[in-house]
Amino acid sequence: MGPLQGVRIVEMSNIGPGPFCGMLLADLGAEVVSVQRLSTGDLGFDIGLRYDLLNRSKQAAAVDLKSPEGVAVVREMIASADMVIEGFRPGVMERLGLGPEVCLADNPRLVYGRMTGWGQDGPLAQMAGHDINYIAMTGALAAIGPKGGAPAVPLNLVGDFAGGSLYLAMGLLAALVEARQSGRGQVVDAAMVDGVASMLTMHLGYRQAKFWNLDRGTNSVDGGSPWYTTYATKDGRWMAVGAVETRFYREFVRILGLDVATLPGQHDHTRWDELRTIFATEFAKKTRDEWELLFEGTDACVSPVLDMDEAPHHRTANARGTFVQRDGLTEPAPAPRFSRTAATIRNSPPDARQTTASTLSAWGIDPARIARLSADGVIAAPDA
């Protein structure tokens, strides 16, 4: 049932990073209830609930948080929970009557996780923002992109999901361990700007050692070097090269059909453009599939660039079980993996309009009270 079996989490539904953090913990066995808007039971996206994979493995309840009765029932659930996950602007939960002071008074062992872009305090705390803004303000965005070109947007992975969700999950689990030792909960303030800055630790060290240039596309692992970049193939597809170490680089050059002795030096920055042109010329002579077969099983650190439709069907993903098929959809399997307490996807994204009553019952809310709340329109009632 996963290593977090028995851990109970109330997640205040929001977009992206908060639900992803909840999904990660739910996949690992935690009992996560997504408290959603009463108006729709979801976030109003038009993709359809079955595709809202960030809510898999969870329970769901739609509650009117503008109603004192709705707030009271959520507060009661939090009183029996181990964790809260919320991703609103600072002060919103306090205005709802569900801030950390109130919840920790009800439940002193509670770990209260807060996800924001800018943090709970500071000059930008109340300003709206998105992944691109957070990575822009930490130095990460300026470092990504081609030489002489504009900064490249790396999806919304770096700020939202890496600097946000993963750091919040780590903080929640660390605080849970401490709470079980001390008997006291605490607030975890996970700001995406802090998480992204933390991920830049190595690069900041390199920069201060004068080993990293501020000019994009001129460094060893930012696409600037000819041995850590991508190359177009004969069929218009791409191969990714990461031949950093000398022995891996030599293997890469050999399989490419070239002789290291006749090429510019691997670390001769003044001739990187020349070396890149030589490699590009060779890659253009064969298709991506042909190059993949040549490099597969070697230490050249060369891989095909797969798109999101291709990746789940690649033989490597199949052998590893990296993706799973459920209810006609392809989903990433839970990660990481455990030798004894295996993680699993327990259910598809629930429809809060149909599951609110059963979810509240599972969290100890009296059935008569549930019926009354439903009749009064405080919680979602199943469609007729």
pLDDT in tens, 100-144: 999 999 999 999 999 999 999 999 999 999 999 999 999 999 999
User: What distance lies between CA 341 and its chain's CA centroid?
Assistant: 22
Specify the residue for token string 């599939």: 289
Please give the pLDDT value at position 46.
Answer: 67
Please give the pLDDT value at position 342.
Answer: 96
Two tokens, residue 341: 């307490």
Among 219, 198, 222, smallest CA distance to 209 is for 219
Please give the pLDDT value at position 42.
Answer: 45
Contact indicator for 352, 60 with CB cutoff of 8 Å: yes
Distance of alpha carbon 362 from alpha carbon 365, whole angstroms: 7
Q: Is 130 marked active-site?
A: yes
Q: Is 52 marked active-site?
A: no
Strand, coil or helix: 108:
coil
CA 240 → CA 23, 303, 314, distances in Å?
30, 5, 16
Catalytic position from the list 42, 52, 160, 189: 160
Distance of alpha carbon 102 from alpha carbon 108, whole angstroms: 10
pLDDT one-digit tens code per residue, 324-352: 999 999 999 999 999 999 999 999 999 99
Catalytic position from the list 106, 130, 203, 314: 130
Please give the pLDDT value at position 40.
Answer: 57
Residues 6+ away with beta carbon under 8 Å from 200: 138, 139, 140
Please give the pLDDT value at position 304.
Answer: 98
CA 48 → CA 40, 42, 51, 319, 322, distances in Å?
12, 9, 6, 30, 24
Please give the pLDDT value at position 48.
Answer: 85
Strand, coil or helix: 112:
strand
Please give the pLDDT value at position 56.
Answer: 97
Beta strands at 323-326 and 302-304: parallel, antiparallel or unpaired:
unpaired
- Domains, the chain: 8-199+324-375 (3.40.50.10540), 228-232+238-304 (3.30.1540.10)
Please give the pLDDT value at position 60.
Answer: 96
Please give the pLDDT value at position 1.
Answer: 82
Distance of alpha carbon 106 from alpha carbon 33, whole angstroms: 19
Q: What is the DSSP string of 199-238?
A: HTHHHHHHHHTT-S-SSTT-STTTT-STTEEEEE-TTS-E
User: What distance lies between CA 227 and its chain's CA centroid?
Assistant: 28
Residues of the chain with pLDDT below 50 are: 41-45, 384
